[in-house]
Structure 1
Amino acid sequence: MNWRLRCTFIIVLLCMIPLPTGASLTDSENGGILYFSCDSDEDCQLTPTPIGEEVISGSVQANPLMTESVAIEFEMSPGQTELAVLPEVIDELFIDLRVQGDAVGIYTPEMEVKLIIGMSVTTLESDASGIPTSGTETGHRWVDEPLNLDKGRLLWPGDVVRARIVFTVDRPSTWELHLRGSSYINLDIDWSENVAAKDVDEPTSALQPKSTSLEDVHYGALVGDEKDCWSFNVESNEIIRILIQWEDVPLELQQSNGVHRLRTSGGQQVATPDIITKAEGDEVLTNYRWRALNPGDYVFCLNGQTERFQPYIWSGVYAVESSGPTDASEFEGKVEYQSQFFDFSTGEEGNLEPQSGIFLFPMVGFLVFFLAQFYKTSTLQRTRMFVFVPAIVLLFLSGVVSPLWTMADETQSKSEWSLDQLLEERVQQLWDVSSPVTPEATMIEHVGATFGIRNGESLNLWIEIDSTYERNDGRWQLQPAGIDEIRIDQLVFNQIAEASNGRIVDGLDEQIVQFSIIATRALLLDLMILEALLVTDEEPSNSVYHIETAMIDTSSFGSISSPTWATRPAGIDDNSWKRLQTSLYPERITVTLCDCALDLLDLQVDYSNQFDADDSPTFGALRASSEIVPNAGLVAFVSVLVCLAVVVSEENRRRKAKKLAEAYAPKDSIWTSLF
C-alpha cells in the first residue's frame, strides 16, 4: 500500500513541474504571447506560459551624479520551431517594474527595452517620472508600437527571440520585477507554419527520385533551393496533365510557379508543356499539359529557390479537363480594366473638354475694338471711368489672361506622370522586385505600396477627365479619359518582352510567372482605388486634374501573400483609408496565365458589394486646373455685353447730338464741322 501512495505522490509532483512547451511564436490562439519568467536573478527566459519566480528584486545605491543601470536579459525558451510572419506593430508590452525610493516611495525610472526578433532589433524607451505613484498602475506599458521590420518580416526556425531590459535609477532604491504573468509581450502573428511537418516528401532528389504512380496524390513542401523529384511510368495517352496546388504563403516565401522539369529516365528533357497558372484569391494552381508523350519512365522535379518555402499538393491525370480557361482557345485574348465597377449616378452626366484657344481670338478682337472706342471723345465721363474701364479690365482678365493661365496649368509638367506613365512605371517597378534575388522586405514594400509610391515619396499625377456624373451623395465622380481601354495584359507582356530583349526564354521562367500574377493584381487594385478617389464636391468645369500629395505608411490590406494599399495620401486620415480598403477590396480576384503557343492572360473579378458612396474619402490633393477668374467664360461674356452696351449708348448719344446740332445750325456751321 505504501509503494502505491509513494508512486501516486511522485506522479502528482511530476505533473506539477512546468514542462517546456513549444515557445514558438505562432498564429494559434495565444501563440503570440510570451511571458517574462525567471528561475533566478541570473536565469531568465521568455516562455509561452508563466513559470518560475513571482518576483525578482535587488537594491542599488545611486545618486543624480552617479546613476546606476540594471540590465536583465530574457531569451525565448524553447527556441523558435515554426516559420512565422511578424506583425507590423507590437500589440502590447508590459513590464511590471516597481522601484521604491528611500524617501519618495514608488516611482517610475527611465527604461529601455530592446526586442531582438530574428534579424530585426526594435528599441522602446520610457521616460522617468519622479512623481510617486499611489493607487495607479505601476510599470511600463507600450501599446501598438511599430516593430522594426527593415530586415524583413520573416522569423525562421532557430532564429533568436530575445528581450533586454535596462532601467536606470538616480537615487538609492529597491526594485522589484513582477513575473509569472505580470510582465508579458503580445504579438499578433498573422501566419506561421511548421516547416518540418510539411516537408513530408523527403527523401527525394534529382539523383534519387522517389518512385510513385502518376495519378497518386503527393504532399510535400519546397524548402529552400532543394529539388523534389519523383519517378513514374507513363501509359499511352493523348493528353497528360500535372496539377500542382500551392499552399498560400507570404509573398516573399512563394516558390517559383513557373517551369518545373519533366525528363525521361535517361535524362532527356521533354518538350516544354503548355502551362496555365491560376491565382484565385490566395490559392495558386499550376496546370502542366503535354500532348502524346511516349509511354515509358519519366522523372518530374520541382525546383526550389533559396530562402523560400511553400507546401504543395500535386497529382497527374490523363486527358482531364477542369473549370476555367485550360487552353488558349478558352481565353478571351485581352484583359481590359473594367471602369465604373460601382455606379452611384443620379442620372445627371456631363462631358468635359480641355480649354480651347479658339475663343481667345474673338476675345482679343473685342478687346482691341473696345480699346479703340476708349480713345474716342466721350460725353459720359463717369460711365467711361466707372463702367467701361472696369468692364474692359474684366474682359482682359477673364477672356485672355485666365484662359492662357488655364491652358498653361492644363499642360503636363515635367514632374508629373500621366496615367499611362504611372502604369508603365508601376509594371517596371514590379518586374524589378519580382526577381528571385530581391530582398524580401524590399519586395513587400514595393508590391504593397499604393501606385508603387512608398512612404515619404510624392505622387504627382496629371489626369485628363473625359466625363463626369453626379453621385447620389451630391458629389461628382470623375472618369479619366481612356481608363476603360487600359489593357492590363499588354502592360504585363510588353514589360516581359522588353526585359527579355536579347535573350531566349524557353517557356515562362520563375520570375515571369510571379511577375505576371503580382502585376495583374496590383494594376487592378491601383486603378480601382484611383477611381474611388476621383471625387469632387463641386461640379467640374475643367477637363484636366492634378494630384499632388505625399504618400505615408499605413496598414496594408489583402492577404499575407498579396498585400496592397500599404501607403495612403497624407491628406486622408487612417480611419477613412481603412474604411475605403475594407469596403473596396474585391471578394475574389482570379488571375490565369497560359504559357501556350501565344502567351495569354485572363482576369476575373468578383467586386465587393459593400462599397458605398460614403466610403470615398474627401481627397484634398485632387485639384482642377486653376483659373484666375472663377467662371471666366461667363464673366467674359457679361463683360462683352457691358462694353457693347456702353459703346452703343455712347454712339447713340453722338448721333442725337449731331442731329440736334444740324437742326439748329447752318450746314457749314462750325458745330456741324465739329461733329
Structure 2
Amino acid sequence: MVEWELVPIEIEQPHSVPDLITAAGRLSPAPDVVVDDDGESLKITYRWRALPTGDYTLCMHGSPQKIQSYSWTGVFGYEGLGPTDPSGFSSASYYPQGAALAGDVDRAEALNSHGAGLLLVSTVMLILFLVVAMRPTTAYGVRFGLFVPGVLMLLVGGILHPLWAMADEVQHQDEITLETLIEMRLQQLWDVSAEGVPEQTLYTHTGATWGMLEGERLKMKLDIEEAIPLDDGRWQLLVPELESLRLDQAIFGQVAKGETQQSQEGMLESQTVRFILLAGRSLLLDLLILEAMLVVEDKPESSVIHIDTEMLAAPATGSFAAPAWSTRPASVSTDDWVRLQGSLFPERISISLCDCDLDLLDVMFLPSDGFDLGDIPPSSWGVKSASGLLPYGGALMLGGLALGLAATWMEVQRKSKAEQLALEFATQNTNQWN
C-alpha cells in the first residue's frame, strides 16, 4: 500500500502502477488496484495474487518535476480458502480421510475379528476325537502316537487360542474409543477457550497431541476394517470412523453441551466463536497425525487394535500462538517426531464460521506435499493388534486336526479289517461244522 500526502495538482506525482519484478528479472502480472481518498491522504493498495514465495523488486515510477511525499508498506499473505458468504458453505464438513496415507488405498486388504466359527468346529472335532480315542479297542500306538498329540494341539490352537483372542478383542476397562477421545478433546478445548483462561494454559492444552499432556497415558481401542501394505513391508491401518466423521457436527454438538455449562450470555458468545475456530484446527491436526502414525510392522491378526502409550513433551510445530503436536508417544524419538511434524503439517489451514442463523462450518486445508513413507517413525509406539495365545495358533489347530483325522482314519481302517477277519473266521468255522 502506498499512502500519498495530498498536494496541489501542479506538483502531484502521476501515481502509475509500480512494477513488481521477480528474482529472475520477469515482470509480475498486473495487480488489483484499490484507491481510498479520505480527504487527508490518498491510499492506493496494489494486490498481486497467486505469487510464488521468493525475492521481488518493487519499482515505483515518478516524474522528476513533481514533488509529493509518500510512505509505503508491503505485506505477504495467504488468501483464505474458505467461503466468504453463506451460499459458499456446504451442509456438512467432513474430515478429509486419506490425507495422511502413505500407501495405495486400492491395495487395501480386509481385516476380520476372531469369530466363533473355528472355535465351534474345533470343539466338535475335539469331542469326536476323544470319543474315538477313548474306545477300549483303540490301538495304543494310534491312541498315544496320534490321538493324544492331535487332541492337545487342537485344544491349544483351536480352543484356547481363539478364546484368548476373543477376550483380547473386548474393550479393556481403562480404554477409550475414538469417539470418546474426540469428545474429551472437544471438552478440553471448550474449557480452555473460556474468558479469563491464561494464555499459557491455552497454548499448553491446545498444542497437546490428542489432548494428552506430558505424563498422561493414552489407552484406546480402535476397530479397523482394512490395512494397506506399504513399500517397506509395514502396514498402514484404515479407521472407518474417519471416513464419515463430520467435524461440524462434533464441534457444534460440544457448543450445545457447553451452553448448559455457561450462565453468562455475553461470555458464552465470545467463548463459542473462539472455541469453534480453535476446535476446527486442533481436531483436524489431531486426526491427521493419528492417521499418519497408525502403522504396524506386520499385518494385524485381528481387526481390533489396542493403543497404549505414555506421552512426553516435544517441540511444538505451528506458530507460538497456535502450537500443535507438542507431546509425543514415549517410544518415538524427538528427532523422528520433529521430522514427522515438518513433513506432515499442512501448507495452509482455513476454518470458516458462517455469521448467520445456521450452524455452518467450513474446514479446508492444503496438505503437505513433502510427506512420504520415510517420515513415519519406525517404532510401533504402542499400537498392537488383538492376538491369541500363540503366534501360530491357526497352524497348530490345523496340525491337530490333521493328526486327529489321520488317527481316526487309521482306527476306522483297523476296525474294518478286524471285522472282516472276524467274519471270515466265522464263515470258516461254519463250513467245518457242516
TM-score w.r.t. the length of structure 2 is 0.77
Corresponding residue number in structure 1 for 2:270: 510
Deviations 1:192-248 (A, max 9, x none): xxxxxxxxxxxxxxxxxxxx98xx999xxxxxxxxxxxxxxxxxxxxxxxxxxxxxx
Question: Is 1:329 paired with 2:87?
Answer: yes
Deviations 1:34-56 (A, max 9, x none): xxxxxxxxxxxxxxxxxxxxxxx
Alignment of 1:99-498 (within 5 A): 324-341=82-99, 342-345=101-104, 348-498=107-257
Question: Is 1:654 paired with 2:415?
Answer: yes
Classify the secondary structure of the residue corresponding to 1:387.
Answer: helix
Corresponding residue number in structure 2 for 1:605: 365
d(CA) in 1 for partners of 2:98 and 2:42?
43
d(CA) in 1 for partners of 2:191 and 2:360?
21
Classify the secondary structure of the residue corresponding to 1:332.
Answer: coil
Question: Is 1:573 paired with 2:326?
Answer: no
Q: Is the 8 A contact 1:282 1:559 kept in 2?
A: no
Structure 1: stretches of 5+ with no match in the other structure: 1-211, 219-280, 286-322, 670-675
Q: Is the 8 A contact 1:351 1:466 kept in 2?
A: yes
* Aligned AA (2:293): L
Deviation of the 1:379 alpha carbon: 4.8
Q: Is the 8 A contact 1:348 1:469 kept in 2?
A: yes
Q: Residue 384 of structure 2 is aligned with which of 601, 611, 623?
A: 623
d(CA) in 2 for partners of 1:537 and 1:494?
37
Shift of the 599–406 alpha-carbon distance from structure 1 to 2, 3 Å rule, reads same
* Aligned AA (2:344): L
Deviation of the 1:627 alpha carbon: 1.0
Give the percent of matched residue pairs that are identical in Structure 1 and Structure 2: 37
Q: Is the 8 A contact 1:367 1:396 kept in 2?
A: yes
* Aligned AA (2:356): C
Classify the secondary structure of the residue corresponding to 2:306.
Answer: strand
Q: Is the 8 A contact 2:189 2:278 kept in 1?
A: yes
Q: Is the 8 A contact 1:448 1:562 kept in 2?
A: yes
d(CA) in 1 for partners of 2:77 and 2:162?
51
d(CA) in 1 for partners of 2:227 and 2:429?
68
* Aligned AA (2:218): L
Q: Is the 8 A contact 2:195 2:267 kept in 1?
A: no
* Aligned AA (1:331): F
Deviation of the 1:504 alpha carbon: 8.8
d(CA) in 1 for partners of 2:79 and 2:324?
18
Extract structure 1 runs of 4+ deviating beyond 6 A.
281-285
d(CA) in 2 for partners of 1:405 and 1:602?
45
Shift of the 282–465 alpha-carbon distance from structure 1 to 2, 3 Å rule, reads farther
d(CA) in 1 for partners of 2:141 and 2:167?
37
d(CA) in 1 for partners of 2:194 and 2:207?
16
Classify the secondary structure of the residue corresponding to 2:91.
Answer: coil
Question: Is 1:543 paired with 2:303?
Answer: yes
* Aligned AA (2:369): N
Larger Rg belongs to: 1
Deviations 1:597-640 (A, max 9, x none): 10210011100011010111122411110210224334323322
d(CA) in 2 for partners of 1:593 and 1:507?
18
Q: Is the 8 A contact 1:346 1:471 kept in 2?
A: no
d(CA) in 1 for partners of 2:138 and 2:122?
26
Shift of the 324–530 alpha-carbon distance from structure 1 to 2, 3 Å rule, reads closer
Classify the secondary structure of the residue corresponding to 2:90.
Answer: coil
| The 10-residue stretch of structure 1 (495-504 or 353-362) with the greater mean CA deviation from structure 2 | 495-504
Q: Is the 8 A contact 1:436 1:511 kept in 2?
A: yes
Shift of the 667–593 alpha-carbon distance from structure 1 to 2, 3 Å rule, reads farther
Deviation of the 1:664 alpha carbon: 2.4
d(CA) in 1 for partners of 2:250 and 2:291?
19
d(CA) in 1 for partners of 2:82 and 2:385?
44
* Aligned AA (2:350): T
* Aligned AA (2:291): E
Shift of the 556–324 alpha-carbon distance from structure 1 to 2, 3 Å rule, reads closer
Deviation of the 1:384 alpha carbon: 2.1
d(CA) in 2 for partners of 1:377 and 1:487?
67
d(CA) in 2 for partners of 1:533 and 1:344?
13
Corresponding residue number in structure 1 for 2:57: none
Q: Residue 586 of structure 1 is aligned with which of 342, 346, 360?
A: 346
Shift of the 441–658 alpha-carbon distance from structure 1 to 2, 3 Å rule, reads same
Q: Is the 8 A contact 1:337 1:487 kept in 2?
A: yes
Q: Is the 8 A contact 1:508 1:595 kept in 2?
A: no
Structure 2: stretches of 5+ with no match in the other structure: 1-36, 44-75
Shift of the 581–413 alpha-carbon distance from structure 1 to 2, 3 Å rule, reads same
d(CA) in 1 for partners of 2:429 and 2:106?
71
Q: Residue 562 of structure 1 is aligned with which of 317, 322, 336?
A: 322
Deviations 1:620-670 (A, max 9, x none): 41111021022433432332232111111111111101211221245899x
Identify the structure with bigger relative contact order (alpha carbons < 8 Å, sequence gap 6+): 2
Q: Is the 8 A contact 2:349 2:364 kept in 1?
A: yes
d(CA) in 1 for partners of 2:242 and 2:186?
17
Classify the secondary structure of the residue corresponding to 1:595.
Answer: coil
* Aligned AA (2:219): N
* Aligned AA (1:578): V
Q: Is the 8 A contact 2:259 2:268 kept in 1?
A: no
d(CA) in 1 for partners of 2:212 and 2:227?
27
* Aligned AA (1:385): F
* Aligned AA (1:663): E
d(CA) in 2 for partners of 1:282 and 1:416?
44
- Superposition RMSD in Å: 2.7
Question: Could you say which structure has the higher helix fraction?
Answer: 2
Deviation of the 1:344 alpha carbon: 1.9
Deviations 1:457-481 (A, max 9, x none): 1000101101111112221110012
* Aligned AA (2:135): K
Q: Is the 8 A contact 2:329 2:381 kept in 1?
A: no
Classify the secondary structure of the residue corresponding to 1:477.
Answer: strand
d(CA) in 2 for partners of 1:552 and 1:668?
90
d(CA) in 2 for partners of 1:667 and 1:575?
90
d(CA) in 2 for partners of 1:665 and 1:370?
31
Deviation of the 1:343 alpha carbon: 4.2
Shift of the 284–668 alpha-carbon distance from structure 1 to 2, 3 Å rule, reads farther
Shift of the 366–394 alpha-carbon distance from structure 1 to 2, 3 Å rule, reads same
Corresponding residue number in structure 1 for 2:397: 636
Alignment of 1:63-102 (within 5 A): none
Q: Is the 8 A contact 1:462 1:547 kept in 2?
A: yes
| The 10-residue stretch of structure 1 (642-651 or 449-458) with the greater mean CA deviation from structure 2 | 642-651
d(CA) in 2 for partners of 1:363 and 1:634?
13
Classify the secondary structure of the residue corresponding to 2:318.
Answer: strand
* Aligned AA (2:386): S
